[in-house]
Structure 1
Amino acid sequence: MHDDAETFDASTTPTAATVATRALDLQLDAVGITRAEAYDDTEQYIVERREAGLFADLKFTMAQPDVSCHPESLVDGARSVISAALSYWHPDGDVPEAAHGTGTIARFARADPYVTLRDRLEQIADWLRTHGHECRVLVDSNDHVDRAAAIRSGVGFSGKNTMLITPRHGSWVVLGTIVTTAELEPTEPMRPGCGSCTACIDACPTDAINADGGVLDTGACIGYWTQSHHQVPDEIAQHMDDMVYGCDICQDVCPWNRGTEKRRAAEEPWQGQVDLVAWLEADRDELNEAYDRFFVPRRNVSFLRRNALIAMGNRRNERDVPIIAAQLEHSDRIVRRAARQALRLNGTTAAINVLESNS
């Protein structure tokens, strides 16, 4: 629990102002309030884009917009929705020495900021409950589109990269929500702040963001493919570079994310680089335990090994060929297939010779 839990006066009457103060006391980075009413525009957006095939096979909040876009149905007598953002930006940890390269984990997945966010929201909810209000905390839940509440309550605005962008911490935030029967004064939404900037659109190597921004083709998104159970197409794999889980390209180039480190208190580094060979050689249970916060299809770490092989292939280094070639004998077809793909990506004479001898 947060240290402030012992000093907070729970008799304080919940209002929009005191909720905001409490959230800041708990070191949440932004908070807003909106009415517990349907997110009609978001529901329509989800339905239209699902019909257009832009979500690939993702489910999550897109699976049941008749639920996830209706906070008023999540708590009997719901009156208000409290939206909160917590920055997950931390300095990079040391890059491990790795003879055959390292892979990059996206910032959001280097730890589990949702655990911290849920804890702090539960403390706010417990306070509201002491005043007779029903509450439901939703963090990374399929039952609620947290982003819709954050936009409507002014926590941030929707960026062209489809991320929620906050004024102080950019898009390096995770979102959570409290749906409550408390009647709280809504906060005002923000005006969009991307202007004529197209940095994210221009930087995406797979053209996953539409030309005008604001619409993501999930099937072209590198982050999606690092978590997918489908075979990664070569045209995607060649752009994955060293990314083994998630992708931050459209956030790294966003002007709103510049200088975040100057606005954060000193934070401990989060390890964002992994030894590719270690991922290939680690025991299955060891990998599952170390990365249990990841979404890995069927908890099969062969998908992590697949990503490591693609990253190694993208190094295009002849010294990596024996390491990759050894995986052609792996017991799991996912890994064997990824090893062949990695050899194609490597493209050196040695890699081509191995492919031809194993054709």
Structure 2
Amino acid sequence: MNAAELEQLADELGIDVVGAAPAEPYEETEQHIRDRRARGLFADMRFTMAQPEVSCHPEQLLPNARTVVSAALCYYHEEPDRPPGHGRLPRYTWYDAYAELREKLDELGRRLGGAYRVLVDENQHVDREAAARSGVGFYGKNTLLITRRFGSWVVLGTLVTDRELEPTTPLALDCGSCTLCIEACPTGALDEPGTLDATKCLSYWTQSAHDPPEAYREALESQVYGCDICQDVCPWNRGIEKRRAGQPLPTNAEPHVDLVDWLASDPSELRRRYARLYVPRNDGRFLQRNARIALANEQVAT
């Protein structure tokens, strides 16, 4: 299958961006992960960083793997006004876009034929590297994958197949001299362009089993999970934001959560309601910890 045929098939399935690359080792990415881990920049995060000997070797993820197909699905919607007493969620968690992309990639695998494996937001594969190699996007200084038409407002997934597909061309794009994300990060997590220091990242601290440092709690403001600051300021995101301005939210979207409701809920029930979020030890009390911080910040602000 050539690149044009792959793009047509992806378009039929509702995939926003697609590309293909040979199923070969990600040697530079593997070394980058090992270097960051040695410097302690991952804190206690695991995910694809825990075993780069697995996550950077797509050729080992499927017998006779020939091609990695990278796919991106845009999840951007305008944020409505936040009601008082409510906390904010990052856009990618307003609804489960990963589940939607997983279904689309599974159908893509069936249409391609042959053996395949779908990996979406999983420890075993670095989806961003497949996306960069196949021209789906490029690495930004905020470490996120930036696409040409949708900026970084995308979730990524990969299909490893034993079919040999025509490779697509990597994008000859970068951030140039722009440093807006670096300047906007309130905790300096991006001071080294292209390298995230998780020990300073607000998103990391909302997902950590350790309590956020006092110095970072005020910076979280009303955020109860994740952080979108480095995406909110990115010029590559202006296009999709303008194109989708004024569009209604999906019926299942949840941009804000009631902080008092979170605190009053049974932790196990709260965890079940937000199964799409990563929660340390699957313990809803960590979500309630974040809600207490957001509520305290709101009381200070008023």
Q: Is the 8 A contact 1:83 1:178 kept in 2?
A: yes
TM-score of the pair, normalised by structure 2: 0.94
Q: Is the 8 A contact 1:159 1:192 kept in 2?
A: no
User: What is the deviation of 1:95?
Assistant: 3.5
Q: Is the 8 A contact 2:62 2:117 kept in 1?
A: yes
- Per the alignment, residue 128 of structure 2 pairs with 147
CA–CA separation in structure 2 for the residues paired with 1:114 and 1:237: 29
Out of 33, 41, 44, the residue aligned to residue 20 of structure 2 is 33
CA–CA separation in structure 1 for the residues paired with 2:178 and 2:61: 37
Larger Rg: 1
- Per the alignment, residue 262 of structure 1 pairs with 242
CA–CA separation in structure 2 for the residues paired with 1:209 and 1:301: 29
Q: Is the 8 A contact 1:92 1:271 kept in 2?
A: no
User: What is the deviation of 1:148?
Assistant: 0.3
CA–CA separation in structure 2 for the residues paired with 1:262 and 1:231: 37
Q: Percent identity?
A: 55
CA–CA separation in structure 1 for the residues paired with 2:166 and 2:69: 10
CA–CA separation in structure 1 for the residues paired with 2:282 and 2:55: 26
Out of 273, 287, 290, the residue aligned to residue 270 of structure 2 is 287
User: What is the deviation of 1:94?
Assistant: 5.8
The 5-angstrom pairing of residues 86-105 of structure 1 reads 86-93=73-80, 95-96=82-83, 98=84, 101-105=85-89
Worse-superposed segment, 243-252 or 286-295: 286-295
Q: Is the 8 A contact 2:21 2:167 kept in 1?
A: yes
User: What is the deviation of 1:17?
Assistant: 2.1
- Per the alignment, residue 35 of structure 2 pairs with 48
* 2:10 alignment partner AA: A
- Per the alignment, residue 197 of structure 1 pairs with 178
Where structure 2 has 5 or more consecutive residues not aligned to the other structure, the ranges are none
**23 and 274 in structure 1: CA distance in 2 versus 1, 3 angstrom threshold:** same
**54 and 318 in structure 1: CA distance in 2 versus 1, 3 angstrom threshold:** closer
Deviations 1:255-296 (A, max 9, x none): 111132333494534321112111111233431232111111
- Per the alignment, residue 119 of structure 1 pairs with 103
Determine helix, strand or coil for the equivalent of 1:239. Answer: helix
Greater relative contact order structure (CA < 8 Å, 6+ sep): 2
CA–CA separation in structure 1 for the residues paired with 2:191 and 2:203: 16
- Per the alignment, residue 137 of structure 2 pairs with 156
Out of 196, 206, 222, the residue aligned to residue 242 of structure 1 is 222
User: What is the deviation of 1:76?
Assistant: 1.4
- Per the alignment, residue 297 of structure 2 pairs with 314
**How many residues are treated as equivalent by the alignment?**
299
Q: Is the 8 A contact 2:3 2:167 kept in 1?
A: yes
User: What is the deviation of 1:318?
Assistant: 9.1
TM-score of the pair, normalised by structure 1: 0.80
CA–CA separation in structure 1 for the residues paired with 2:227 and 2:107: 32
- Per the alignment, residue 63 of structure 1 pairs with 50
Q: Is the 8 A contact 2:22 2:68 kept in 1?
A: yes
**75 and 226 in structure 1: CA distance in 2 versus 1, 3 angstrom threshold:** same
CA–CA separation in structure 2 for the residues paired with 1:51 and 1:318: 39
CA–CA separation in structure 2 for the residues paired with 1:318 and 1:35: 52
Q: Is the 8 A contact 2:127 2:157 kept in 1?
A: yes
User: What is the deviation of 1:33?
Assistant: 0.6
User: What is the deviation of 1:202?
Assistant: 0.1
CA–CA separation in structure 2 for the residues paired with 1:65 and 1:86: 25
* 2:54 alignment partner AA: V
**33 and 276 in structure 1: CA distance in 2 versus 1, 3 angstrom threshold:** same
- Per the alignment, residue 81 of structure 1 pairs with 68
